[in-house]
């Protein structure tokens, strides 16, 4: 399913009144301003670049962020420094996509050979530029810039602790908590990388970090490896990126993934690794949802190619939920590859069932005066020629509230599909994620309150099959992973209550 | 190939210096302002709506334009009137996409039950809001709004004639010439539809028109049927649209295509047809490029489904240019369906070889400081897992200058493809189009100055096959069509010289 | 009174509910879009520049328009051509102030040594870019650009005539009517200036024109001289401007005014004058309101300095309406000079009674949630120190609906003024202006429905004196002028009904 | 002199090459991004509102900021909370003027009955939204918002201290230092006002503070009273404002000034005052420049009306530097009142010598292609009628580099003034201000490197008189004030070196 649909399903589903048996929730009562204060749930992307040869890196960071834009569309930012001279960070952050925030002139002004960028996840409505990253801070040893993907589970506790020693917080992002810990550890540590490592002893949760000190680029990944991070190189320039697709985008060579628990320090000495925070491989817990949905098809994370894992997911579905049909189609963009896998395994032809309107972007409005048109139709249309008279298997990656899925099935049937068999390349979400995946709360999720058979009936499918939990391991070989959102088996202790911050 | 690539290839190709044997042309010397004055070559989309029941139609027109956005991204506009009251057109036009120009408030202000909208083709750089459509004019019988897709071949001559009778021109678009003729014919005609018909006797070329008088919506298509236009209905509301996908987008029922040469008048009396300008079927000349590239995959034009015609194109390619290979892949978006057809015909598996970055839009900039990154890499990336070690057939719809194609082949080989066989689902462009397709001038086209074998070598392909002219007819059944850009066989007399206007 | 107040008084006066005896009119029911279609009443400014030496003039035109910005804030535009080469006009028009529409890059792109600019009057709400000037047209002899200040009284009639010969109109501005006539006369005239002169035989009303043909800059002024126009020179560059202040702003020398009825042609031959349309001096009818309100204090029109005429107006008021008082203050900006004149004549000290907030511009909003604050207070504040305990004479240039005036008097009394004597430096508006001054229609004007004594009571003044009609002549020496808005004595036949266009 | 001129004189003076004897300084080499990091020198305005009755205050704060806009045009912000419910601050900050940043919708979303706003001084070029105020922080006791006008002299030292205890800084504004101290003191203090008071024991320098805790609005003024702050009331709503003009703008009653060193706490208990930080009256040191230039003419600060003090300044000048002349004119806006005072004392008539173009705002550009036009001419023009043949006394408030002044004198002489006698209503700047006034550094100041006689000659004046230091006391009665920028007599110890922060 398409990222815009995801957001829409949660916020606009009240617009689709024909699903009588789906209880419509009260529309979120938070105003635009209130929503932002929770600061929960962001998925993000980070990208660092360090040219030892002294070339400006802002353009490369800009390209890298473009390749990571799917990881966050709310806001973005770049901070750069000149390791030979200025030793001060220049930064530019703003709301919107990379090409909303940056233009030629701004990139030229961001002079410096060491830089880091960030893209942040977009929740509909609530945004504020104060929460954009990278954070640039001044502290006892000078200056640092920090970009962070992930979510801490002990952020509330750490904030409280910090506050009791006189800390003030100006954002609601965990990165500020991390920055404080790095700054404080630095008082008693020989160098910045040591401070990052010591901070890691305090912070618990999911994180991929890029921290730039005036002369070093430091990458770190939480010991479970929940969030991805990898290293690339092009001539004398080193890169750190959330996904390998961004390394490729800047025409660099992929070196390797940062290991779970590793701290890598890139400086004039090259890459120096500190593995002292690493934990045994079997305890590692990569987010399985990176493979299912977050990561780009052309990325490879910890040795497993995302495209390949989705093909395997489709194959697994075909094995578990075979059905006689004429055609397999995927819901763009994320369902396409799993559909291909289903087709390959089942021998049922793969078809191009949908046209996705690529002009419907962030700013699409649904005029109030329009009663008949649905936004689903504007974003996605069925190619009748393909599905008419066919028994269709439709593969998607998730069902959130069910309204979008029901609409798509309705469109397929109106276009002449005789049967629509839905296959979902992930198990149902049943548990909250505390590590940065924005899963709606329980009662917003159809799977939380209905059986698969009830869901099937509500969305109007002829059959419905979810990926089985036991088959997830097929997707990622012998890597150990986190599937807590499906199973409740969290790799670490998580808060009993919702950890969203209440500032009062 | 993707529309953005098209534009880029023409204007940015000088950025790609590694193709030594491709002579780089002088960069266009026209300034931003000069470029616009030529007014040539626009592809466009039109959409009309008339609610006999008196409901506001601006939101429906907005949705319809969204579905036609692929036909024009430079500017757009909507003009509406209230047939029960005001009888004056309110309009809003602007540069940019539909969701740049319109917001909730503007749509609410555009009150009226009869309206027409337009999207206009984007050429890089040159744009001016004065040329946006619909035109709203006041004339002897009151007021009209006109939206037009196409290009007249006798526009210069008609302008001259009009000027000798005292006409003044404020735009460089042919629609102004048409408006003058409708206005003048109206002096001696009983009604607006009669004036449109009489104007059609004077204007020569390609046109699909939607003309709204205070109480009528008139659709007209040139006798050759070069440009598409169709009719839809939803309850008491009638629609006219360039493509059927826009009818579907507003949840309306597709009624039929407007016939080549037909004038349809929609009023309280329903649909009234005038076929007196029609010509024999065998003389009709639909633009074949609508099927190859312009139209949306989910549209059906004159009874031929676009998806289907592209599947047939792929099949024809497979018959003409078979090759032993492991995989067929299409260049998104337009090459995908033809690749599917090639796969179906050849039995060689269809693969998803590329990831297209859907966040790279109109405003993407290529920073000057960036030397290594190419914009192709940002827009399109290869999925190495899919192509590694494979002999790949790559299907695209055209090769303009060759630089983008060469870049993509290079990326495939870097990703491990052993062979890359290029199949183009159209014949080479060899002749200028005078009907509104923006084909670069001769010496900008690689096919104009090189043999296919030379091109193959220059782009680095292992083999290259263009659609054969004789096979175009396979795509569209027994419809007669225009293939002049490939053959030089124009369906009507065309100017000897370039018809771009020189205003002096 | 300040121009923003003027607009506000008409549209926002319903916000000020405390004036019980002023009947509040129904708020204008026209929507934003409807309002624009009337096209009436604009005051405007024109500025032309022709560098015979071949230097680019866009920057000079930009400066000239800045100096004329007070004559129009709705929209502006510049069109330029290169008399040595291109012979095509490049233009840029937009809604808003000169510094909203133009930036460095745009000015650089507007290359050319002959250019004309225009600023257009702002009515609150209704605007559309289609009506911005200069008009650039293509016609039988090539191309022209036209900028026009004024209003024709036979525009409706001329439009009708033109329409009967096949003309179409895309704007609602009189300039389009003028352009048609110039274009048509050009068919039978030797040169462009001849066509302008012949067009002047047809058009009736008020106009100051700058018409640029590819090699000439032509200025023309209606025979009555209702609108001002003057000539300046700097080295090899000639200028035409609505007011002499704009000539000074570009550091040029003031040459002379264009005479009423004169056509001046500026070309390589220098200035050539054609006076054949001139009428006897005693029939001339300069708009007296230019001296009272429109023109800038530092301009001189037809030999009479605007500052000086306002001083004389103040003196005349002091003679007609003497009163014992301690202080004379003027309402910024336009009342200041007349207040100075009153002070000089009466010997009563001149004081600085108000602070005007120069940051309250076009985009000031009045939040709905605010009930207590009035926009008058935000824009203008009394300096209590100055007026406390004083008997104050307050001079302003007009009273439209009375609400703003009443508010200001209330503020003065709250600040401790013991008496407030209001003196208005113009007679009451009693008759509509057909020549381009945006006087509200009769029943919107307090003077139309109330006696001065009633008005005095309603606004809370201790005395009220309007300029007497007989004293207007003191302001302008022996120049003959138009005072029709006060007297109903129009210098030419005017339409019996409102000439606002009804397009149906 | 006008604020825009001030900025311009410093940055654009290199454009005016005709002043051969003025050595042009190297243009500031800092880039747009570098400039911002210094964070020095801001003048600002603060405005707080607390409706005990529970009404929303955002609109009132918006109006209040409008009235304080002259104190800062770089950025602005509003933060509000709802004391009955939410207890969380919603905020909106942005670059630009109040009406750039706020619109109706935003104000409606800022729901809350306790709020604070801020306007920040604009330095040309360098700006960043991170430094906009109010700061909203979360700390151990919940949340606070802080708006601050002024500059600390021990900020660098305090930052260092804080950093050694683990503080991180995300902005370069002193308000962050203050926020830290309030947060830390709050750990050991009973209530928020106590924390503010204790923080005041640490921070040294100039400050007027508005601090909002969830249920209190706290105002504080440094013991010297360097920056102004006053209290107003309207029904159940209390206000704190930098100047009394803002109290008037919201139609509230002026209660009193906050006393130097006072902490006022406004809550449901009304106003509670804590004077324990106050110092003896004779040690107080109000910024004299508030009276000369910063504050609005209609404000009253510490009992002295600004208008009145400027009249007295003019009178003092007339006594010290009498000259035979025909006319006294003031340079708008700030020179006008002093000119009036000079006129009153000397008996020489006051005249309106200049027209100020009120449309030249922040976004005015000086096109590069323009060589002849000077920006001074665009902003200010002489009314020749007034000055021709006259011996003119011209009063302004300061001479910075001399270029603007020289230009104005040149314009006066070109307009026919026979003599121009310049009188400056302040002594020459000779010493840096450490308290928030943005005085250019020494060698940028003409007075620093030239004698008055040299300056007179360079600017082309016939005589020149600066306010004498000894006469400043005439302006403010028996209030004690700070005149360190003229005398070097600082009211407290100041850093030996420049305190601009170097972040490395």
Cross-chain Cβ contact D358/C333 below 8 Å: yes
Mutate to test the interface with A, among D156, D167, D168, D502 (most CBs of A within 10 A): D168
Per-residue pLDDT for A22 more than 70? Answer: no
Look at residue B359 in the predicted model and tell me its pLDDT: 83
Predicted confidence at residue C131, as pLDDT, reads 84
Residue of C nearest to D347 (CA): C349
Q: From the CB coordinates, do chains B and C have 3 or more pairs under 8 Å?
A: yes
Query: Is the pLDDT reported for residue A363 higher than 80?
Result: no
Residues of B whose CB is below 8 A from A336: 352
Average pLDDT over residues C45-60: 96
The residues facing B274 across adjacent strands are B263
> What's the whole-number mean pLDDT along residues A328-335?
92
Q: From D100, which residue of chain C is nearest by alpha-carbon distance?
A: C363
- In DSSP notation, C435-450 reads SS--PPPGGG-HHHHS
Cβ-contact D98, C359 below 8 angstroms: yes
Q: Each residue of D381-391: pLDDT tens digit?
A: 999 999 999 99
Residues from chain A contacting residue D137 (CB–CB below 8 Å):
168-170
Q: Which residues of D touch C337 (CB under 8 A)?
A: 352
- In the predicted model, is pLDDT for residue D47 greater than 90? yes
Strand A327-330 versus strand A270-274 pairing type: unpaired
Alpha-carbon span C23 to D313, nearest angstrom: 47
CB C328 within 8 A of CB C349: yes
Q: What is the pLDDT of residue D232?
A: 98
* Pairwise pLDDT comparison (A122 vs B471), residue with the higher score: B471
Angle, helices B403-414 vs B3-12, to 10°: value is: 110
Residue whose C-alpha is closest to residue C426's, from C487, C345, C355: C487
User: Do the two chains D and A touch, given a threshold of 8 Å on CB pairs and at least 3 pairs?
Assistant: yes
Best interface-test mutation with B: which of C170, C174, C186, C502 has the largest number of B CBs within 10 A?
A: C170
Q: Is it the case that residue D437 has pLDDT exceeding 90?
A: no
D377 pLDDT higher than 70: yes
Confidence at residue A95, expressed as pLDDT on a 0 to 100 scale? 87
pLDDT for res C117: 98
Confidence class for position C429, pLDDT limits 50, 70, 90: confident
Could you tell me whether strands A75-81 and A114-120 are parallel, antiparallel, or unpaired per DSSP bridges?
Answer: antiparallel
Residue A222's pLDDT band, with cuts at 50, 70 and 90, is: very high
More confident residue, A468 or A40: A468
Q: Tens of pLDDT along A227-277?
A: 999 999 999 999 999 999 999 999 999 999 999 999 999 999 999 999 999
pLDDT at A270: 95
Across the interface, of C69, C369, C372, the residue whose CB is closest to D107 is C369
How far apart are the CA of C84 and the nearest CA of chain B, in angstroms?
12
Cβ neighbours around D21 below 10 Å, total: 9
> What is the DSSP pairing of strand B75-81 with strand B114-120?
antiparallel
Stretch among A17-21, A107-111, C79-83, C208-212 having the lowest mean pLDDT? A17-21
Q: How large is the average pLDDT for residues A409-421? A: 96
Give pLDDT, residue D20: 29
Q: What angle do CA B390, B396, B397 make, to 5 degrees?
A: 165
Interchain proximity D384–C305, CB inside 8 Å: yes
Of residues A444 and B426, more confidently modeled: B426
CA distance A127 to chain B (A): 19
- Chain A, 36 to 75: residues with Cβ < 8 Å from chain D are 37
Looking at every residue in chain A, the average pLDDT score rounds to 86
CA C371 to chain centre: 33
> Which range is least confidently modeled, A356-360, B268-272, C267-271, D405-409?
A356-360
Contacts of C172 in chain B (CB under 8 A): 138
How many Å apart are CA D281 and CA D302, to the nearest integer? 12
Interface membership of C120 toward D (CB under 8 Å): no
Share of chain A above pLDDT 90, in %: 69
Distance between start and end Cα atoms, chain C: 38
Any CB–CB contact under 8 A between A90 and chain B? no
Taking the Cβ of residue D179 and every Cβ of chain C, the question of whether any pair is shorter than 8 Å is answered with no
Q: In chain A, what residues touch D156 (CB-CB under 8 Å)?
A: none
- Is the CB of B249 less than 8 angstroms away from the CB of A373? yes
**Per-residue pLDDT reduced to its tens digit, B386-427:** 999 999 999 999 888 888 899 999 999 999 999 999 999 999
Of B204-218, C379-393, C444-458, D274-288, the range with the lowest mean pLDDT is C444-458
The answer to whether D361 contacts C67, with C-beta atoms less than 8 Å apart, is no
- For every residue of B31-80, DSSP letters joined together read -HHHHHTT-----EEEEEEEETT----HHHHHHHHHHTGGG--SEEEEEE
To test the contact with chain A by mutation, choose from B354, B372, B384 the residue with the greatest count of A C-beta atoms within 10 A, namely B372
Residues of C designated as active site: 44
The whole-number pLDDT of residue D333 equals 85
| Pairwise CB contact (< 8 Å): A166 & D184 | yes
Q: How confident is the model at residue C236 (pLDDT cuts 50, 70, 90)?
A: very high
Best probe of the D interface among A82, A87, A166, by most D CBs < 10 A, is: A166
What does the pLDDT read at residue C265? 98
Angle between helices A306-320 and A335-346 (to 10 degrees): 50
Residue ranges of the alpha helices (H) in D87-173? 98-101, 104-109, 155-164
User: What percentage of chain B exceeds 90 in pLDDT?
Assistant: 69
Q: How far is B466 from chain C (nearest CA, A)?
A: 42
Residue B371 backbone phi and psi in degrees, to 5: -105, -30
- Chain A environment of D142 (Cβ under 8 Å): 503-504
Are D and B touching by the rule of 3+ CB pairs within 8 Å? no
Instruction: Pick the residue from chain D with its C-alpha nearest to A170.
Output: D137
Residues A116, A213 contacting (CB under 8 angstroms): no
Verify whether the Cβ–Cβ distance A370 to B59 is below 8 Å. Answer: yes
Q: Do B170 and C170 touch (CB under 8 A)?
A: yes
For residue B237, give the 3-state DSSP assignment: strand
**Residue in A423, A489, A504 with CA at minimum distance from that of residue A456:** A423
Q: Which residues of D360-376 are buried (b: 16+ CB within 10 A; e: fewer)?
A: bbeebbbbebbeebbbb
Contact list, A160 vs chain D (CB under 8 Å): 140
Three-state DSSP class for residue B172: coil
Look up residue B391 and give its two tokens: 């002999």
Nearest chain A Cα to D85, which residue? A504
Say if residues A223 and A285 touch (Cβ distance below 8 Å): no
Report whether pLDDT(C126) > 80: no
The dihedral of CA B365, B367, B368, B374: what is its sign? negative
Burial class (CB in 10 A: 0-12, 13-18, 19+), B412: buried
CA distance B36 to B132: 12
C15 touches chain D (CB under 8 A): no
Instruction: Decide if A374 and B251 are in contact by the 8 Å CB cutoff.
Output: yes
Q: Cβ separation of D164 and A187 shorter than 8 Å?
A: yes
Q: Is the CB of D140 inside 8 Å of chain A's CB atoms? A: yes
Please tell me the distance in Å from D179's CA to the nearest CA on chain A: 8
- Report which secondary-structure segment, H or E, holds A9: helix A3-12
Query: Closest Cα of chain A to B262: distance in Å?
Result: 27
Judged by average pLDDT, the poorest of C137-151, C374-388, D468-482 is C374-388
Whether D191 has a pLDDT exceeding 60, the answer reads yes
pLDDT of residue C395: 98
pLDDT for C401: 82
Q: Do chains B and A touch (3 or more CB pairs under 8 A)?
A: yes
- Chains in contact with C, where contact means 3 or more Cβ–Cβ distances below 8 Å, are B, D
Give the pLDDT of residue C17.
29
Quote the mean pLDDT of chain C.
86
Q: Please state, in angstroms and rounded to a whole number, the distance separating the CA atoms of residues A297 and B355.
A: 7
Tokens 């200049």 appear where?
D354
Place of tokens 């509670």: D272
Say whether residue A177 is in contact with chain D using an 8 A CB cutoff.
Answer: no
How many angstroms separate the CA atoms of D161 and D169, rounded? 12
Q: Taking a C-beta distance cutoff of 8 angstroms, is the pair C120, C31 a contact?
A: no
**A439 pLDDT tier (thresholds 50, 70, 90):** low
Contact C94, C76 (CB under 8 A): yes
Confidence class of residue B39 from pLDDT cuts 50, 70 and 90?
very low
Look at residue D370 in the predicted model and tell me its pLDDT.
60
Predicted pLDDT of residue A104: 86
Contact D210/D194 with Cβ under 8 angstroms? no
Q: State the pLDDT at residue C368.
A: 62
- Judged by a CB distance cut-off of 8 A, whether residue A84 touches chain B is no
| pLDDT at residue A7 tops 50 | no
Kindly state whether C352 is in contact with chain B, defined as any CB-CB distance less than 8 angstroms: no
Beta pairing partners, C95: C75
Q: Where is average pLDDT lowest: A377-381, C22-26, D47-51, D147-151?
A: C22-26
The Cβ-side half-sphere exposure at D129, using a 13 Å CA radius, reads: 19
How close A203 gets to chain D, by Cα (Å)? 16
Q: Quote the mean pLDDT of chain B.
A: 86
Binary contact (B307, A383; C-beta < 8 A): yes
Helix ranges (DSSP H) in A86-136: 98-101, 104-109
Cβ-in-10-Å burial (0-12, 13-18, 19+) of B468 comes to: middle
Asked if residues A142 and A471 have their Cβ atoms less than 8 Å apart, the reply is no
The residue that leads in pLDDT, A123 or A87, is: A87
Residue B321 has pLDDT above 70, yes or no: yes
User: For B180, which of C111, C168, C503 is closest by C-beta distance?
Assistant: C168
Give D298→chain C minimum CA distance, Å.
5
* 8 Å CB contact of D359 and C307: no
Interface membership of A88 toward D (CB under 8 Å): yes
How much is the pLDDT for B13?
30
CB-CB contact of A352 with A383 (8 Å):
yes
Peptide bond connecting A257 to the previous residue in cis, omega within 30 degrees of 0: no
Neighbours of chain B (3+ CB pairs under 8 A): A, C
**Residue pairs between chains A and B whose CB atoms are closer than 8 Å:** 169
Q: Look up residue C70 and give its DSSP letter.
A: G
> For residue B35, is pLDDT > 50?
no
Instruction: Report the pLDDT averaged over residues C250-269.
Output: 97
State the helix-helix crossing angle for C192-202 and C174-186, rounded to 10 degrees: 120
């Amino acid at each position: 399913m398409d990222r815009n649909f995801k957001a829409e399903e949660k916020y606009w589903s009240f617009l689709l009144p024909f699903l009588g048996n789906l209880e419509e929730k009260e529309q979120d009562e938070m105003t635009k301003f209130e929503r932002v204060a929770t600061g929960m749930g962001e998925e993000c992307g980070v990208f660092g670049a360090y040219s030892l040869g002294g070339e400006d890196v802002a353009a490369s960071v800009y390209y890298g962020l473009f390749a990571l834009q799917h990881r966050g569309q709310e806001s973005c930012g770049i901070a750069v420094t000149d390791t030979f001279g200025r030793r001060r960070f220049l930064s530019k952050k703003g709301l919107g996509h990379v090409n909303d925030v940056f233009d030629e002139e701004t990139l030229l002004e961001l002079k410096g050979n060491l830089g880091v960028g960030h893209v942040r996840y977009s929740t509909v409505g609530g945004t504020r530029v104060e929460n954009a990253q990278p954070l640039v801070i001044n502290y006892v040893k000078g200056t640092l810039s920090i970009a962070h993907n992930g979510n801490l589970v002990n952020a509330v506790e750490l904030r409280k602790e910090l506050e009791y020693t006189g800390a003030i917080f100006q954002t609601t992002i965990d990165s500020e908590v991390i920055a404080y810990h790095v700054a404080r550890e630095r008082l008693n540590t020989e160098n910045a990388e040591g401070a990052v490592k010591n901070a890691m002893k305090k912070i618990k949760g999911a994180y991929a970090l890029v921290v730039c000190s005036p002369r070093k680029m430091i990458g770190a990944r939480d010991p479970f490896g929940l969030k991805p991070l990898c290293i690339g190189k092009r001539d004398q320039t080193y890169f750190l990126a959330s996904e390998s697709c961004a390394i490729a985008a800047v025409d660099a060579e992929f070196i390797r993934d940062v290991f779970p628990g590793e701290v890598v320090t890139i400086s004039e000495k090259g890459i120096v690794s500190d593995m002292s925070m690493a934990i045994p491989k079997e305890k590692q817990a990569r987010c399985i949802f990176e493979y299912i949905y977050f990561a780009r098809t052309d990325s490879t994370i910890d040795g497993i190619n995302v495209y390949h894992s989705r093909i395997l997911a489709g194959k697994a579905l075909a094995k578990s939920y075979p059905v006689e049909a004429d055609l397999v189609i995927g819901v763009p963009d994320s369902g396409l590859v799993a559909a291909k896998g289903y087709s390959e395994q089942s021998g049922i032809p793969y078809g191009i069932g949908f046209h996705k309107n690529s002009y419907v972007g962030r700013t699409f409005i649904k005029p109030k005066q329009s009663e008949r048109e649905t936004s689903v139709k504007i974003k996605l249309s069925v190619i009748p020629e393909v599905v008419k008279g066919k028994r269709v298997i439709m593969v998607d990656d998730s069902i959130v509230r069910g309204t979008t899925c029901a609409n798509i099935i309705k469109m397929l049937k109106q276009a002449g599909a005789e049967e629509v068999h839905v296959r979902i390349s992930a198990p149902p979400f049943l548990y909250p994620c505390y590590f940065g995946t924005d899963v709606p709360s329980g009662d917003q999720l159809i799977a939380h309150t209905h059986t698969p058979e009830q869901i099937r009936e509500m969305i109007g499918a002829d059959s419905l099959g979810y990926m089985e939990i036991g088959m997830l391991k097929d997707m990622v070989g012998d890597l150990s992973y986190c599937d807590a959102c499906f199973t409740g088996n969290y790799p670490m202790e998580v808060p009993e209550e919702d950890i969203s911050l209440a500032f009062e």
